[in-house]
A and B are shown apart, each in its own frame.
Chain A
Amino acid sequence: MEKFKELLAEALEREDEIKMEDEFRSYDEWSSIAYLSIIAFMDEVYDTQLEEAEFKQLKTVQDMYNACTKK
């Protein structure tokens, strides 16, 4: 989980703490570029490919982590 948070922080370029219950779209760092970076690490590191509609369903950091680790 810590590795996931690290990757997410890097993708978002967020230096403040990331909590699993956080709604990631509310972060100041959230942007279309952050979205592309997240999609990239989900694919590269977790071999998880989500359609845009599926990604839209994810609300919290925990949701994103679950999507990456559910296999």
Chain B
Amino acid sequence: MDKQFNPFSLEGKVVVISGAASGIARQCAISCSKMGAKLILLDMNEEGLMETMEMVKRPKEHYWASVNLLEYEKVGSIIKDAVAKVGRINGLLNCAGISTTNLFKLTKPEELDKFFHVNVYTGYFLAQECTKMGNLSKEGGSIVFFSSVAGSFGEVGKSTYGMTKAALLNLAKHLACEMARKNVRVNSISPGAICTPINMNLPHMKDPEKRAVLESQHLLGLGETTDIAYACIYLLSDASRWVTGTNLFVDGGFSVR
């Protein structure tokens, strides 16, 4: 076996991860650091970010900033500062987002606004900042938008959340076309139900009966955060150099049926 051969290596790559204070994004930070990436970690939750920084490999190499991604100008100056300190960006994992279960008939316009701003606009403008001249690596890069199985499949109470996640699927396709000339690949990932500390306290996972239903929908059972992080490593690495504009279901078989 050739021990040097690793097409999934992130050695020498700078990767931005939003929402890195917890859950899947935190695991992505840990796993990407293990694969050799230098990280730029963003989240509103400073305490959570500090905890993530204690878990990553080579913490001194990375950059972190506590920021509200809706403050677009501030995000712009943070990205500029991060690039000056860590280097030009090769990858972006747009993980930050919020979830809800609410009925269509009870949803108010301001709730829709909030979800589109947090789940769609922040990723859109963060990608814009990361790919600006001077911020993006001259070799190009890879952007991953975090969609969800709810972006492709219907479920009661998920219209608000699902719409925002479907928007990201579509955004990835259009940006793939627009960014290809700069050798930037743009893809989305659609996780199924993942066991994160936050999710484990939600009714659909905490309640044994509801959890059993959820498990039965996933052929391979519920997912772990590493299942998503490893898929992200593939999409960020040169192993996926010919992959753009696609959506990768990482859902333990949820989407098969």
Contacts and interface: CB of A to CB of B under 8 A. Distances in A.
Contacts of A15: 133-134, 138
Interface residues of B, number: 6
A9 interface: yes
Contact of A33 (B133, B134, B138, B178): B178
A9 B181 contact: no
B43 to A, nearest CB: 29
A13 B178 contact: no
B74 interface: no
Interface string A1-34: 0000000011001110000000000000001010
A9 B134 CA distance: 11
A56 B138 CA distance: 29
Interface in B152-206: 178, 181-182
Given A14-B133, A15-B133, A33-B181, 8 more contacts: A9-B133, A10-B133, A13-B133, A13-B182, A15-B134, A15-B138, A31-B181, A33-B178
Nearest to B136: A13
Interface string B51-71: 000000000000000000000
Nearest first, the 7 A-B pairs at minimum CB distance are A13-B133, A31-B181, A15-B133, A10-B133, A33-B178, A33-B181, A13-B182
A33 B178 CA distance: 8
A50 to B, nearest CB: 23
Interface residues of A, number: 7
A15 B136 CA distance: 12
A60 to B, nearest CB: 22
B229 to A, nearest CB: 31
Nearest to B181: A31
A9 B178 CA distance: 18
Interface string B126-152: 000000011000100000000000000
Nearest to A9: B133
B241 to A, nearest CB: 21
Contacts of A31: 181
11 contacts: A9-B133, A10-B133, A13-B133, A13-B182, A14-B133, A15-B133, A15-B134, A15-B138, A31-B181, A33-B178, A33-B181
A31 B181 CA distance: 9
A10 B178 CA distance: 16
Contacts of A14: 133
Contacts of A33: 178, 181
A31 B178 CA distance: 11
Interface string B98-125: 0000000000000000000000000000
Nearest to B131: A13
A18 to B, nearest CB: 12
Nearest to A12: B133
A7 B49 CA distance: 36
A6 to B, nearest CB: 11
Nearest to B178: A33
A10 B128 CA distance: 13
